[in-house]
Structure 1
């Protein structure tokens, strides 16, 4: 029997009859499961769209026929070594489910992390990987329609659901969760909210797209509020909608709204549309980053209360940065209706002050505390791995890793590093690997994003694209633009060569900031080793 899952499963089961929402005369069921009549109307058409389609569907699909959820014991996860899918698998095992998983990319660190939790990963994809006695299959968005395991599940009549559907059905509480959305800052804002709730004794659960340093984990199962990072990327080949459309949200943030995910969204308006839809599904209160006009516009679709946050004094949660002290910032907090309060936040970068203000709004929805009290709850916050994370220091050279790959994130990461290490020569090493960063749509924005770094190294794209030439990011042009803006630029294709070059030229006091949405080919370890070898 799955631990702690039965009561949630029984409640969810009541919402579905033969795999379709069981609506009362009201627009949606009283359990706020995140489905509406529109989901039934559009769901069937949405479920037939394949992964090659670059537009999201109009609405979440109707779920397939499911067994009684309190009878589900065995679950197979296709694509288990993705960060989110691996996290889901670990959560399911902790809840008492028997979990199997498969992935052709079964390598450390995720493979080791899952093995330590008792999951034996079946390498590659093959119909035989799907156990004969499995009750439910969870399909990751890495699996296409012709995936042999997905086909096997279909042929055997096994119910297949996406990751966010699994979270909603098997984990999220009846009344909904605390959902963090936005183009930037989701992971750190979620980690901040989870830490403050933990410090307040609220025993939170969380599901976050990065490793929180305080918990050394991407998830936690507690008995209190559930904090979830709400991603706007799509979910599975049969469920082409943003993940956050699936999450019933009591309280939520929209941090900011920019164009991103150029592989599935054709333009900014298509991004705005999915955020407006999300805003309309929040049930109790929405916090919005009001310095961002698009975020404000999307929040206008909300049917609940809306509050604002941002740097300044005119917001419901506001702040002004007074000074930087290493990895901390001294700020004045402005809680609308209250006096300004001076506080210290254990974060770097103006964007992290904004992240805190949004996270505090979520916390105040479930804990009786004011904004200054939230700042006190932030004491001891250690951040998230790969978010301005110091990976090491050798010979006076500090190596820092950041997830930034969107031009706005690159710009803000460089600004944060410059504020934290104001006297250092700053290197910025950028890898154009993500679906967005390899495209020319941000060619101009990248040209200005590296301002503030004295030395810039651009790595060649991770893979060759089949995109038309005019749609590809030109690194040669980017190098010229960055150089024209005042930085010294090199275009070095290979990671090993980058490590050798930086180790040969870096001086004591330098800070080397790597910017990539991936592991960057192990650059950090190679660079630290090369620095150590020079004596």
Structure 2
């Protein structure tokens, strides 16, 4: 069809040129009073047969030569690949030259046995490279793959001057001869790696994933996403819970208790930092050479297949992550999310979405957030917590957050709360694009005119280059306004309209154990408004107390607090005493150990003495959280607001009181 169109165009052009010459030579054009043709030689006169042949031949030959040249040029351009050079110029490179160079980069790796390479244009002056490579397993497949990708990218950029390389995709397989030379104890590993050749992807060799401590809030979210993706998921936990029951309905096989046989058939074992190294399942995994990966590494693997948004900070991570997921969902982006708490609207702490974004909570408690590679990183605040994992030095905590932000790619985005002094320092030294949020006048995304009535908070949202927007947030406290600003900043950066952001924030129903109101509860001599909260750090307690005072100023504030971890109680004893002294009454349970050994001078009695020494209130001590339903009625007055706070099993007591009231709850 293209040839027919070309021939038709040549014929049309020949006719036009021939007619033009005929008109010219027929005397229509004149020079003064004489026809122009009178001045021509005889052999060029229009009535000469030779003249007609010459003119019509020329008329046909000129467009024909033009189109032959154009076709040759088009063919040459079609065979070339247009790429963007390091100085911004467009270069035309022959595919054979690119293939040869990429093959050379692959062949120089000592593990490579054979390979197939494809180089193609990816649009907008970029190139994409894919290769199938058979290797000898002289190192881990991931290490070989990373080496090859780095070698190809560096070579193309530094040697050939190509600046835009959109994708380098390498599928690795094992060379058959090298497999037969592997020693016997490694056959399980070799068999798994050999499946790569038929699966076409490294992930295809790791389809059975076992979680040690699957009921944990961080572990269960990843397990749920993997279940939805079609992986075979198993796990173990000390007891049954609503979380483990939900995972079972999704197809996970959940064992109660820990035993070596639970990992049978597993390709990889995922473990949280709360699991001790002498766990029988970990011992069995090491003996069988099953890979053991931290929870954060598995989360990083999920993030590798999405555009990642990681929310870090000592406080507010869970709420900020949840609000961000809600804003993106409202805009139709359908994000995947993995959250450290139950999103009440979803009834879960994780969901696999169909969109390109993954929103996840980045856990700084053990430094594992440094394994994540997001495109957008949020830091809500930086405070002294989990110091036992940072050598007891807050400077190490600060350095970890700095490293977390510096791991962003050069095109990444840091979303930072400028109200926090430690975060403000990081914002000033960041070599990446930064969006600041908060109440600070210098913030790019800012809130003003904040008012609170009960659980509801209203404020005016200020976004760059947008008119002010009124927002109603069904969460109490200025700290939750800050969390909402972070979500608004991300949404705005990703193109979500201000009104859509406001709708998402207003629709947000909250997170499990984050200032959950359970209504008025009769305790015998009156009624008290019951609140359940996860807060377990002095700064979190202070924020919750401020929200309670602002929303219910007429009520007395009573707090039942369960300290979490002996190390935290030891490190922050004075700070706990200071903030707890500001409420009207305190009931303290013994410290929830979370696997730690007791520390002298860091128990509930030491905290009670520190509170009492401040001379405002006299704390009531109970041995454990289960004793609270029997003790609280003696402390409460009619009309009080009572908050059960802590990260341990006090949450189960709060749920029991919410469901059964003081009369129906178990009074141990």
Q: Structure with the greater relative contact order (CA < 8 A, sep ≥ 6): 1 or 2?
A: 1
> Deviation of residue 483 (structure 1)?
6.7
Q: Is the 8 A contact 1:32 1:174 kept in 2?
A: no
Q: Is the 8 A contact 2:560 2:642 kept in 1?
A: yes
Q: How does 1:515-534 map to 2 (within 5 A)?
A: 515-520=645-650, 522-528=652-658, 529=660, 531-532=662-663
> Deviation of residue 153 (structure 1)?
2.1
Counting matched residue pairs gives 481
Q: State how far apart, in whole Å, the 2-side matches of 1:174 and 1:12 are.
A: 19
Q: How does 1:400-411 map to 2 (within 5 A)?
A: 400-411=531-542
Aligned with 1:295 (options 414, 423, 430): 423
Q: How does 1:448-527 map to 2 (within 5 A)?
A: 448-463=578-593, 466=597, 469=600, 472-473=602-603, 475-481=605-611, 484=614, 486-520=616-650, 522-527=652-657
> Deviation of residue 416 (structure 1)?
1.0
Aligned with 1:151 (options 283, 286, 289): 283
- State yes or no: 1:262 paired with 2:382: no
> Deviation of residue 533 (structure 1)?
5.8
- State yes or no: 1:442 paired with 2:442: no
Gap regions ≥5 residues in structure 1: 1-9, 34-63, 235-241
Instruction: Identify the structure with the greater helix proportion.
Output: 2
Q: State how far apart, in whole Å, the 2-side matches of 1:13 and 1:485 are.
A: 73
Taking a change above 3 Å as real, the CA distance of residues 73 and 530 of structure 1, as seen in their structure-2 partners, is: closer
- State yes or no: 1:355 paired with 2:480: no
Q: State how far apart, in whole Å, the 2-side matches of 1:204 and 1:276 are.
A: 27
Partner of 1:209: 340
Bigger Cα Rg:
2
> Deviation of residue 320 (structure 1)?
2.5
> Deviation of residue 70 (structure 1)?
2.5
Partner of 1:218: 349
> Deviation of residue 258 (structure 1)?
0.6
Gap regions ≥5 residues in structure 2: 1-128, 134-138, 158-164, 170-191, 197-201
Cα shift readout 1:52-105 (whole Å, capped 9, x = no counterpart): xxxxxxxxxxxx9896212332222222222222222222111111112123x1
> Deviation of residue 119 (structure 1)?
2.5
Q: Secondary structure at the match of 1:469?
A: coil
Cα shift readout 1:2-52 (whole Å, capped 9, x = no counterpart): xxxxxxxx99999x953323351468997799xxxxxxxxxxxxxxxxxxx
Cα shift readout 1:314-350 (whole Å, capped 9, x = no counterpart): 3111112432122211212233455544432222111
Q: State how far apart, in whole Å, the 2-side matches of 1:392 and 1:208 are.
A: 26
Q: Is the 8 A contact 2:240 2:256 kept in 1?
A: no
* TM value normalised by structure 2: 0.66
Partner of 2:246: 113
Q: Is the 8 A contact 1:91 1:219 kept in 2?
A: yes
* TM value normalised by structure 1: 0.82
Q: How does 1:322-337 map to 2 (within 5 A)?
A: 322-337=450-465
Partner of 2:141: 18
Taking a change above 3 Å as real, the CA distance of residues 78 and 496 of structure 1, as seen in their structure-2 partners, is: closer
Taking a change above 3 Å as real, the CA distance of residues 232 and 32 of structure 1, as seen in their structure-2 partners, is: farther
Aligned with 2:364 (options 220, 232, 242): 232
CA RMSD of aligned residues (A): 3.1
Q: Is the 8 A contact 2:306 2:358 kept in 1?
A: no
Taking a change above 3 Å as real, the CA distance of residues 409 and 134 of structure 1, as seen in their structure-2 partners, is: same
Q: Is the 8 A contact 1:502 1:527 kept in 2?
A: no
Partner of 1:375: 502
Partner of 1:239: none
- State yes or no: 1:167 paired with 2:285: no
> Deviation of residue 499 (structure 1)?
1.5
Q: Is the 8 A contact 1:458 1:491 kept in 2?
A: yes
Cα shift readout 1:135-178 (whole Å, capped 9, x = no counterpart): 22223323333333223222222222222222222x22546311
Q: State how far apart, in whole Å, the 1-side matches of 2:564 and 2:439 are.
A: 32
Q: Secondary structure at the match of 2:497?
A: coil
Q: Is the 8 A contact 2:271 2:293 kept in 1?
A: yes
Partner of 1:54: none
| Superposed structure 1 runs of 4+ greater than 6 Å apart | 10-14, 27-33
